[in-house]
């Protein structure tokens, strides 16, 4: 079954609104694991508007499942992940001003840069994952850069799902198949939710991991975090 990694950025956003430690990000991560999460994802940004560099280090001490750190590979970010040594680093092409991820890497244009970073991560025992659009050239570019995995950017799928889910999933099946044939692992993330996750998992059951934050935390406001994690994992079991 595909693993569920819970992105806890939104918990840090809520905490930072008061400048105190409520909710406690570290405790929340521990509880997510206790309730069945297969991993914890964080995405520290340069302005530290949600997850801080201190959070990243504190979480390394307690996360017992898989620890995934997303981010743009600036010097500061790379210094952080090489110090913390998470299980996985997901490379995203976000600019500092971006509110959230809006596209994948151009793995052809940035081939040499990504290759150097993937090599550095591997030398430090860290799995690399490159965030890409569901495009064959971008998947091939990630493989040529030496990535261990690709993470497919799923916002276009989520936007089209209610209109024509077969059309929406088609490029993802093609990209996912190519990733598997290239020998890479496969992740996915962005705007996956309880409505569209089950079909995605059914059509591409060989995903290693989905990373979900905004929708999952929003659902937890209604269902509670334990029940929400159970619901998301049930959707993944449909595959």
Q: Per the residue annotation, which of 190, 207, 209, 235 is the catalytic one?
A: 190
Mark whether 50 is an active-site residue.
no
3-class SS of residue 117:
helix
Rounded Cα–Cα distance for residues 99 and 46 (Å): 12
Contacts of 160 (CB under 8 A, 6+ apart): 167, 168
Q: Exposed (0-12), middle (13-18) or buried (19+): which is 18, by Cβ within 10 Å?
A: exposed
The 10 Å Cβ neighbour count of residue 39 is 23
Cis amide prior to 19 (ω within 30 degrees): no
Q: Per the residue annotation, which of 33, 70, 209, 235 is the catalytic one?
A: 70
Mark whether 190 is an active-site residue.
yes
Q: Per the residue annotation, which of 33, 43, 151, 207 is the catalytic one?
A: 43
What residues are labeled active site? 43, 70, 190
């Amino acid at each position: 079954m595909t693993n569920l990694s819970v992105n806890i950025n939104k918990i840090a956003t809520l905490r930072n609104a008061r400048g105190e430690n409520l909710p406690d990000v570290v405790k929340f991560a521990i509880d997510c694991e206790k309730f069945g999460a297969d991993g914890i994802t964080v995405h520290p940004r340069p302005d530290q508007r949600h997850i801080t560099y201190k959070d990243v280090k504190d979480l390394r001490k307690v996360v017992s499942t898989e620890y995934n750190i997303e981010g743009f590979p600036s010097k500061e970010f790379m210094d952080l992940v090489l110090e913390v040594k998470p299980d996985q680093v997901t490379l995203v092409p976000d600019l500092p001003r971006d509110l959230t991820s809006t596209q994948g890497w151009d793995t052809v244009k940035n081939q040499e840069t990504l290759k150097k970073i993937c090599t550095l991560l591997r030398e430090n025992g860290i799995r690399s994952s490159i965030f890409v659009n569901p495009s064959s050239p971008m998947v091939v570019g990630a493989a040529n850069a030496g990535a261990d995995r690709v993470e497919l950017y799923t916002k276009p799928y989520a936007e089209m799902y209610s209109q024509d889910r077969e059309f929406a999933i088609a490029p993802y099946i093609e990209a996912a198949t190519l990733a598997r044939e290239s020998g890479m692992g496969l992740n996915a993330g962005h705007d996956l939710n309880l409505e569209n996750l089950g079909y995605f998992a059914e059509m591409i059951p060989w995903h290693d991991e989905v990373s979900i934050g905004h929708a999952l935390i929003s659902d937890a406001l209604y269902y509670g975090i334990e029940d929400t994690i159970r619901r998301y994992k049930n959707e993944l079991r449909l595959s």
